[in-house]
Each structure stands twice: as structure tokens, then as C-alpha cells.
Chain A
Amino acid sequence: NAGVTQTPKFQVLKTGQSMTLQCAQDMNHEYMSWYRQDPGMGLRLIHYSVGAGITDQGEVPNGYNVSRSTTEDFPLRLLSAAPSQTSVYFCASSYDGSRKKLFFGSGTQLSVL
């Protein structure tokens, strides 16, 4: 049982480059979300989705784009990377919106130079 799988684990980008962080879950969870973790700031919600075709913004959505074409996958796109986007990114899913615990992926450490 894989749970929530994130790729890549590490990535270095140059300012202005674009990339996609991948997230997949095999638990048939309707709810999926992306967080960034920065020292001293906890986890901040970037975007979330309550099902295929439905996405919405979280606390810090600027500079990020998401789509949800299937229940399993929820990729996060950085359109034009900036040094301020250097962070650790976590994907998480849950069975029932915000009423059940989140299952987290292993994280992606992103550095933007």
C-alpha cells in the first residue's frame, strides 16, 4: 500500500524556470492538498481539491497552479520559479474533506537559485 507518493524528492531550479511536482495517492481519497513548510512558519496551505475537476486556493496560492483530472493525481506547477519558493513541499490527502486526518507524502525539497 503506497499511500501518498511525491516526486521528485529533491529539485534545484534556476529563477524563472518552471516545473511540476507530482503527487499521487492510491487510497481513493477525494480530498488532496499541497502545503509548503518553511522554518518558523509551520505548514501553509497552497491549493486543495475536493474531487476531480474541483480545485481552490489556500493561504498562499500565488505563483502556483494546480489541476485535478483524476482522483489519484494532484500535480503542483510552479509557473516561473522565484527564490521565495525555496521550501519543502508536502502533498496530503484525506478521505472526507476537512473532517478526517491527513495522510502526507514524503515531501519535495525545492531550491530556487
Chain B
Amino acid sequence: AQSVAQPEDQVNVAEGNPLTVKCTYSVSGNPYLFWYVQYPNRGLQFLLKYITGDNLVKGSYGFEAEFNKSQTSFHLKKPSALVSDSALYFCAVRETSGGSYIPTFGRGTSLIVHP
């Protein structure tokens, strides 16, 4: 079975500071990993994904995430946060082989960037 955990309900950071939103996962084989963002009154939008290759993945809006197999983590990062980054962030995982293509989502982390 696949699962994902986002241990923080909320992350607060000052504008201009680096931000990290944490995600850990559990799969029986190798994972596909995703980050989505939800702005107020909008649907979940795809940010980035890890399929294979480089452990550091770059995505939209200056975000990046690092796949760490030994720690089973896929933390989302940005070097310098903007107030406009304030949103709900969802991590998702699915197995690379077998099973379905349906990803499992976490419960989301609310990122609040203070001016």
C-alpha cells in the first residue's frame, strides 16, 4: 500500500526567507512523487514531479523538491519565499509498477508567507 505524510498542518515563513514544506512517503517499490498547490478558490495545480533521474527536481514558480530515498522524503523548497506563495500544498505518491495509476495524496500543508 502507498501512503504519504505531511507532518505540518501549517508552515509560517517571512517573505524573502527560504521555505521548506515536508513530505514523507511509503511505497513497497519505487515511487513517483508529486507536489500540487491550491490557491484560494482554485483547483489543485501541478507544481513538480519526480519520476526518475536527478534527485533535485525543479518546478513551477521557483519551487524545487529533493527526492531522498534513504529518508523516504520529498520535501518542497524555495530559496526565497513570496507572499503570493501563500497557499495549500499537497504531496502525492504512487507506485511505479503494479497497482493502479491513482496517486495517494497527503492532507495538505498551509503555507503562510508574512510580508
- Are A and B bound to each other? no
What residues make up the interface of A, taking CB atoms closer than 8 Å to B?
Answer: none
